[in-house]
């Protein structure tokens, strides 16, 4: 018997509130970073500070990154078509991964370069115009804080909606856009403090070493953010499992169905923001007719989608639980066979 599938229209959630909230978060971050980048470039030219130059590169990279995030939001919301039957949801992860690459390539590497040039004496920072640098850093901190508060508000609201602690939500989320802005703005605020310290210590001691060290620390900070963002999006691109709580509930619901004797196999895959694909192999009661199995598949698929708004597509396949090939595949994936009422994930 062919597998039964059921699904809602792909992209149905991309036009709603969360999408609008993400657009607001990214747009606010873009406006703030653009103004900050221009101010930092001017300040870096006046002061000659390596830390300020590193921060200018950081803000330029962040401004470019917001454009990438906006493109990702727009393109990932396109509906499913013949060539992309599950929609374009994963394209968002590609653009966010490019953000991680840009943070490292445009921000971190330039910061390392500035720091090394200063420490080796190949770049002599001027000691004039320090007041301009302090003013720019102060204004930049205020603007970054406004953008950061919006990102924090959105991520915390999403974490509460998922009933998860903030750190757990960041690790598990399938919507990396707001998390990207939060991490960028957090790094920006810390980077501003480092730049202020480097500029201040340079002015107090007359030694450019502090300015170079500040630039290197900013590079380390940006590298850490780039690696974290890269890891989040790499996991999503390679097809991560759905939230373990959803997996456990899906397995329990299928196992409780009167028509099902055994849940042989179950696979869940995240393929976009708040989009989950469920594939399950079930051993139905032998007394059922083909028509009864078909109706049961339709009903169970509908019940799963109604219970979890994240579930877009459901594929249920009737199989015998004693098939040796299937048994080997399940054991290879989970280390054991599944049982109908097994809630362990």
75 pLDDT higher than 90: no
Whether residue 5 lies inside any domain: the answer is: no
Percent of the chain with pLDDT over 70: 89
pLDDT tens-place string over residues 104-138: 888 888 889 888 988 887 655 555 567 888 888 89
Q: What is the CATH number of the domain that holds 119?
A: 1.20.1510.10
Whether residue 3 lies inside any domain: the answer is: no
Whether residue 295 lies inside any domain: the answer is: yes
249 pLDDT higher than 90: yes
* Distance from C-alpha of 298 to C-alpha of 341, rounded to nearest angstrom: 21
Whether residue 344 lies inside any domain: the answer is: no
68 in the same domain as 204: yes
* Distance from C-alpha of 272 to C-alpha of 19, rounded to nearest angstrom: 13
Whether residue 12 lies inside any domain: the answer is: no
Q: Which helix (H) or strand (E) holds 44?
A: helix 17-47
182 in the same domain as 70: yes
Listed residue (161, 26, 9) closest to 92, CA to CA: 26
* Distance from C-alpha of 213 to C-alpha of 195, rounded to nearest angstrom: 10
| Least confidently predicted of 10-24, 150-164, 254-268 | 10-24
257 in the same domain as 234: no
Whether residue 215 lies inside any domain: the answer is: yes
257 in the same domain as 153: no
Eight-state DSSP code of residue 9: P
85 in the same domain as 132: yes
286 in the same domain as 165: no
Average pLDDT over residues 179-202: 89
285 in the same domain as 206: no
To the question of pTM greater than 0.85 for the whole model, the response is no
Which of helix, strand or coil describes residue 315?
A: strand
CA distances from 43 to 37, 47, 56, 131, 230 (A): 10, 6, 9, 9, 31
39 in the same domain as 111: yes
Domains identified in the chain, total number:
2
| Least confidently predicted of 89-93, 135-139, 192-196, 245-249 | 89-93
Strand order in the sheet with 260-272: 4-7, 311-318, 275-284, 260-272
In the block, tokens 């590609």 appear at: 94
88 in the same domain as 177: yes
Whether residue 202 lies inside any domain: the answer is: yes
Q: What is the CATH number of the domain that holds 294?
A: 3.30.70.1350
263 in the same domain as 115: no
pLDDT tens-place string over residues 264-321: 999 998 888 778 999 999 999 999 999 999 999 999 999 999 999 989 899 999 999 8
**Residues of the domain holding 201:** 21-238
């Amino acid at each position: 018997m062919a597998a039964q599938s059921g699904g809602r229209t792909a992209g149905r959630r991309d036009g709603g509130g969360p999408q609008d909230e993400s657009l607001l978060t990214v747009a606010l971050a873009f406006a703030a970073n653009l103004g900050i980048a221009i101010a930092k470039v001017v300040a870096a030219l006046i002061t000659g500070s390596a830390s300020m130059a590193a921060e200018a590169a950081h803000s330029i990279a962040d401004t470019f990154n917001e454009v990438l995030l906006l493109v990702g939001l727009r393109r990932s919301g396109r509906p499913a078509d013949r060539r992309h039957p599950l929609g374009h949801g994963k394209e968002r992860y590609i653009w966010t991964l490019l953000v991680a690459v840009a943070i490292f390539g445009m921000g971190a590497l330039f910061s390392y370069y500035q720091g090394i040039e200063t420490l080796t004496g190949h770049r002599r920072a001027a000691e004039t115009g320090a007041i301009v640098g302090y003013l720019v850093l102060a204004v930049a901190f205020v603007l970054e804080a406004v953008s950061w508060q919006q990102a924090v508000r959105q991520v915390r609201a999403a974490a509460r909606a998922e009933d998860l602690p903030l750190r757990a939500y960041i690790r598990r989320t399938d919507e990396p856009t707001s998390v990207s802005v939060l991490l960028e703005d957090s790094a920006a605020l810390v980077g501003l403090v480092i730049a202020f310290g480097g500029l201040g210590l340079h002015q107090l001691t007359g030694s450019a070493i502090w300015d170079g060290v500040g630039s290197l620390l900013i590079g380390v900070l940006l590298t850490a953010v780039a690696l974290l963002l890269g890891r989040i999006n790499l996991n999503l691109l390679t097809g991560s499992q759905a939230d373990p709580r959803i997996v456990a509930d899906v397995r329990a619901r299928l196992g409780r169905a009167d028509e099902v004797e055994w849940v042989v196999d179950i696979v869940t895959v995240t393929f976009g923001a708040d989009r989950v694909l469920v594939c399950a192999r079930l051993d139905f009661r032998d007394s059922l007719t083909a028509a009864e199995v078909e109706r049961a598949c339709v009903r169970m698929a509908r019940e799963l989608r109604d219970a979890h708004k994240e579930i877009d597509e459901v594929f249920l396949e009737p199989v015998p639980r004693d098939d040796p090939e299937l048994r080997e595949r399940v054991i290879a994936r989970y280390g054991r066979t599944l049982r109908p009422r097994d809630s362990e994930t």
